[in-house]
Amino acid sequence: MEKSLNWREFIITRLIKASGYSAILFVALIFFFLVREGVPAFAEVELKSLFNIRWYPIEEYFGILPLITGSLIVTIGATFIAVPFGIGTAVYISEIAPRWMREILKPLVELLGGLPSVVLGFLGILVLSPFIRVFLDLPTGLTALTGSILLGGIAVPTVVSVAEDALDAVPRAYREGAWALGATRWQTIWRVTLPAAKSGVLTGVMLGIGRAIGETMTVMMVTGNAPVLALKLASIISPVRTMTATIAAEMGEVANGSTHYHVLFFIGIVLFLISLGVNIAASSVVFRAKKRAERILS
Amino acid sequence: MKHIFSRNRHLVQRIGFTGITLMAILTVTPIIATVIYILIQGVPAISIEFLTGFPHDGMRAGGILPAIVGTLYLTLGTAVFSVPLGIAAAIYLSEYAADTTLTRTIRIAIINLAGIPSVVYGLFGLGLFVLFLKFGTSILAASLTLSIMTLPVIISTAEESLRSVPQGFRTVSISLGATRWQTIRRIVLKEALPGILTGVILGLERAAGETAPILFTGAAFFLPRLPHSPFDATMALPYHLFVISTQVPEMPIKIQYGTALVLLAFVLTMNLIATIIRSRARAKRQW
């Protein structure tokens, strides 16, 4: 009895440990399979033409610059929406709202994070893009701007939840100190609470931007999918095409093992590395802030 | 200092508060409006035939049963793989792992898994499950892909929930002669269950609504029958909505809104269940 229990305990402990390590294995596997299918692109397409301004795979033009600028412009647009609204909502929820309001708002914002992106894209096609077309008098409402607005909405919950956590974590004594000095609540928020939560808020913003770069379905449905170089300010009101949308739209139709197939995987590597960079940067900000706090407190 | 003593600082506060409140309202209103709008537009399309019928006439008529069933299969398939693995990983992180380089690497890996774009998961699933392991475009391949994508949500919420169980519970159990695993299973897991469940449902909610990861791993454009085995491809609500709103010309708008409503109802129900479990657990908690 005693012995069998020990054996079971031993096996279960091992299983639990193995599961714990699995996350590392998965990241490695994802990277490995992207590289395995994506790196042959270098052998088939010259580096110079890979970073060219023409994406026209049917005639073997695999320049990914338009896709990169497309992703960039849509993401920048989304940032302009997600950052003020995300931080504003986070400040409202954690500093201004009465308790009952908080209890309603938090799950609502969480709900936004759970809305399928394909539903938002669907409404984007039927409601938002006709509105933008008429309102701005454009030939088509399927533009980078339309994508940016929806993408901003998709990034907001991430910004709100991380920023709100950070604001919540600011010790009450900080606020009380400011009040005691005669600061108004607004001054306290602006000059004490927000600066104290700065690193957490920044992390939220970075993760939100990361989410925006990686979003696929909404962007594919509403940005018009035109692989043109988006370098001017006016590009925001014209159709663009992002890296994610290109993969999603074209992978279904290419032959496995073709050049086009390898290049799409190569774009996947680029996206993987961007998200890796964003996430490592975001988590290092948190680690650094923690260390600083530990130094100050010890 | 000048600002602190300036006379109009209360005016500034009023303007500031109004601005922030307005922003919160502008953030939340579209969410409510979206849900209500789809509800209003979609309800007229809902009927028994719509929910239990097969699509016909190039999907322009009939029901969406195969897409509903497919989404159920994919969600269940995702749960089968990601729930045990995710909870076990959370137990490791909260109960066994010391603060070592390895643990920190695991944490960074989890953060990165959470950040990888969904379409990149699709590529990975295509490379590993569909082609390398030769599962083909199938429920199995799509579920496995969705599982790995869902894993970080489940791990981090479950870990948080496990950590919130007071240390004293473990100490008492172990001092009474229970082994570590007995303590975890009978005390810690039991106490953390509502929190874990909430995380699991929220994770699966995400998986149920995702399109990009299943695009090349398991989603079928149109399938005139229900899938028979895990090696079959399947229709799914999110992909079906994508197809009928972008790929099928002259699609009746009613069916589109109906499909969107069913998908939304699926997701909202899960969300609601998670919220209820969480608030109940909070109210009941005695520590």
B220, closest residue in chain A (CA to CA): A252
pLDDT at A30: 97
Chain A residues with beta carbon closer than 8 angstroms to that of B245 = 121-122, 125-126, 221
Chain B residues with beta carbon closer than 8 angstroms to that of A105 = 24, 28
Yes or no, beta carbons of B210 and A153 under 8 Å apart: no
**CA distance to A11, A278, B57, B71, per residue, from B61 (Å):** 54, 45, 6, 20
Q: Measured between CA atoms, how close is B49 to chain A, in angstroms?
A: 22
Yes or no, beta carbons of A251 and B205 under 8 Å apart: no
Say how many CB pairs under 8 Å bridge A and B.
270
Residues B215, A217: contact at Cβ < 8 Å? no
Q: Which residue in B9, B28, B181 is closest to A105 by CB distance?
A: B28
Q: Which of B10, B27, B108 to mutate to test the interface with A (most CBs of A within 10 A)?
A: B27
Yes or no, beta carbons of B120 and A256 under 8 Å apart: no
Yes or no, beta carbons of B27 and A276 under 8 Å apart: no
CA-based nearest residue to B243, from A117, A122, A255, A129 = A122
pTM assigned to the model: 0.92
| Residue A269 CA, distance from chain mean position | 16
Any CB–CB contact under 8 A between A124 and chain B?
no
In SS3 terms, A62-108 reads as ECCHHHHHHHHHHHHHHHHHHHHHHHHHHHHHHHHCCHHHHHHHHHH
Yes or no, beta carbons of A182 and B4 under 8 Å apart: yes
d(CA B166, CA A275): 35
Give the pLDDT band of residue B56 (cuts 50, 70, 90): confident
The owner of tokens 């190039």 is: B58
Chain B residues with beta carbon closer than 8 angstroms to that of A118 = 209, 211, 238-239, 241-242, 263
List all residues 6 or more positions away from A296 whose beta carbon is below 8 Å from its beta carbon: none
pLDDT at B6: 64
Residues A166, A203: contact at Cβ < 8 Å? yes
What tens digit of pLDDT does each residue of B84-120 get? 999 999 999 999 988 899 999 999 999 999 999 999 9
Task: Burial-class residue B265 by CB neighbours within 10 Å (0-12, 13-18, 19+).
Answer: middle
Give chain A's residues under pLDDT 70: 1-5, 286-298
Q: Measured between CA atoms, how close is B191 to chain A, in angstroms?
A: 19
Chain B residues with beta carbon closer than 8 angstroms to that of A36 = 127
d(CA B89, CA B242): 34
| Residue B4 in this model has a pLDDT that exceeds 60 | no
Chain A residues with beta carbon closer than 8 angstroms to that of B91 = 16, 19
What tens digit of pLDDT does each residue of A196-221 get? 999 999 999 999 999 999 999 999 99
Structure tokens at A295: 């130094």
pLDDT at A288: 67
Instruction: Name residues 184-243 of chain A within 8 A of B (Cβ).
Output: 184-187, 189-190, 207, 210-211, 213-217, 221
Query: For chain A, what percentages of helix, strand and coil (3-state, to nearest 5) are there?
Result: 80, 0, 15
- When pLDDT is averaged across residues B253-259 and rounded to a whole number, the result is 95
Yes or no, beta carbons of B20 and A105 under 8 Å apart: no
Structure tokens at A73: 């412009």
Structure tokens at A260: 């086009």
Query: Phi-psi region for residue A15, left (φ > 0), alpha (ψ -120 to 50) or beta?
Result: alpha
Give the pLDDT band of residue B207 (cuts 50, 70, 90): very high
Instruction: Name residues 29-88 of chain A within 8 A of B (Cβ).
Output: 29-30, 33-34, 36-37, 84-86, 88
Count of all residues that appear for chain A in the document: 298
| Residue B287 in this model has a pLDDT that exceeds 80 | no
Sign of CA dihedral A145, A148, A149, A150: positive
| Residue A105 CA, distance from chain mean position | 22
The owner of tokens 């169980």 is: B165
The owner of tokens 């590529």 is: B123
Count of all residues that appear for chain B in the document: 287
